[in-house]
Amino acid sequence: MEDTRADSLATTLRTVADAAMELPGLRSLARPLVRRRFQRPFGDDNSYYGVYGSFAEAEAAARALSTRSLPPTYDTEAAGRVYRDQLQRIRVSDYPLVYWLSRLLSEGRRRVFDLGGNIGVSYYGFGRYLDYPADLRWQLHDVPAVMSAGRKWAAQHDPQQRIAFADSPDHADGADVLLSTGALQYLDYTLPQLLQRLSQPPPHVLVNLTPIHPSRGYFTLQNVTFAICPYRVMARPELVAGMESLGYRIVDEWNSRERGLKVPFESSCTIDNYSGFHFRRD
C-alpha cells in the first residue's frame, strides 16, 4: 500500500512539474531538462520529443539524440522481447480486431498479413479467443531482429506451423486481410503508399492503436525505453482520403483510450486517444 501511494504521489508531482515547465517563462529553462530526460534508456515508456516535417528529419534528429544504450532504431534484440506478456492475453483495444477477424474468418478469409506484428503478438494472443481454421496462413513482416526472434519463438510455440515471416511488406499482395496494430506510426511509408504498389491489395484492412490527429500530420520522436524512433502521426483526413482513393471505405472505426500522445511544448499536437479502423475494398 505504501509503495502504491508513493508511486501515485510521484506521478502527481511529475504531472505538476511537467505542467509548470510548459509556462512561457520557464520553457527556455525546461527544454534542456526535458531533452535530457527523454534520452534516458529504460526510462518512461511512450515519451515523446520534438516535431518534424518528414520521416527523414525525424530520423536525423533520432540519430542526434541517440546514445550508446539508446540507439536510433527499433531493429534491436530488445524489440523482440518487449511484448511477451501480450502473447497470453489481449488488451481492451484489441477486442474490435478480434471481433472483425472472427467475422472475416467465418466468411472464409484465410490469408492474413500482419504488418509490424513483432514476433506474432496478435497471432498468439488472438488465438486464445478465436478458433483458427486449420488452413489459416498468417504471414508477418517486421524488422529483421524481431523476425529472427519470432522464428525462434514459432519453432517452439506454433506446432501447427500457421505463422510465417516475410522479408518485405510487399508480401501483403494477394492477402485476404492486412492487419496492423500499433505499427503504422514507425514506418517510413504510409498505409496508402504500401497498398498503392500492390497488384492485388487485400480487400480488408484492420488497423489498431494508431495515433491519428483530427487535422494535423507530423512526425515526432518516441523513446520506447530501449531505442529512440521516428514516430509518424497522420491527419485523419489524409488517411481517409488516401484509402478512399484506392477504393476503400470505412466499415468501422473506434477509439482506444488506453493510449494518448503529448509532445512537450507542442500543445496542438496532443492526441487524447489512439484510433482503429476496418477498411473494406469492394
Q: Are 26 and 264 in contact (CB under 8 A)?
A: no
pTM given for the model: 0.87
The cell numbers describing 129, all together, are 479467443
Contact 200, 38 (CB under 8 A): no
pLDDT digits (tens, 9 = 90+) for 204-247: 999 999 999 999 999 999 998 889 999 999 999 999 999 999 99
Cα 56 to Cα 138: distance, rounded to the nearest angstrom = 31
Please determine, for residue 3, whether its predicted confidence score (pLDDT) is greater than 60: no
pLDDT (mean) for 177-189? 97
**Do residues 136 and 112 lie in contact, with contact meaning Cβ atoms separated by under 8 Å?**
yes
Q: Which residue has the cell 546514445?
A: 67
φ, ψ (nearest 5 deg) of residue 35: -60, -45
For the ranges 7-16, 17-26, 73-82, 105-114, which has the lowest average pLDDT? 7-16
Tell me what pLDDT residue 208 has.
Answer: 96
CA distance 271 to 252: 20
Phi, psi of 275 (to 5 degrees): -120, 155
Burial label for 272, CB within 10 Å (0-12, 13-18, 19+), is exposed
Rounded to an integer, what distance in angstroms lies between the CA atom of residue 3 and that of residue 40? Answer: 23
Q: How far is CA 138 from the centre of its chain?
A: 19
Question: 166 pLDDT band (50/70/90 cuts)?
Answer: very high
What's the rounded mean pLDDT across residues 37-60? 86
Tell me the average pLDDT across 143-155.
94
What is the end-to-end Cα distance of the chain in Å, rounded? 55
Pairing of strands 177-181, 204-210: parallel
Residue 141, beta-bridge partner list: 115
Closest by CA position to 101, among listed 207, 221, 242: 207
The pLDDT tens digits for 90-128 are: 888 999 999 999 999 999 999 999 999 999 999 999 999
Section 13-22 average pLDDT? 54
- Up-side HSE of residue 177: CA atoms within 13 Å toward CB? 26
d(CA 13, CA 197): 49
Query: Which segment of 64-68, 118-122, 177-181, 249-253 scores lowest on mean pLDDT?
Result: 64-68
pLDDT confidence band for 9 (50 / 70 / 90): very low
According to the model, what pLDDT value does residue 82 have? 66
* Residue 166, all three cell numbers: 516475410
Whole-number mean pLDDT of the chain?
A: 88
pLDDT per residue as tens digits for the range 71-92: 888 877 776 676 666 666 788 8
User: For residue 32, what pLDDT is reported?
Assistant: 81
> Under 8 Å CB-to-CB from 84, ≥6 apart: which residues?
none
pLDDT band at 161 (very low <50, low <70, confident <90, very high): very high
pLDDT top residue among 159 and 27: 159
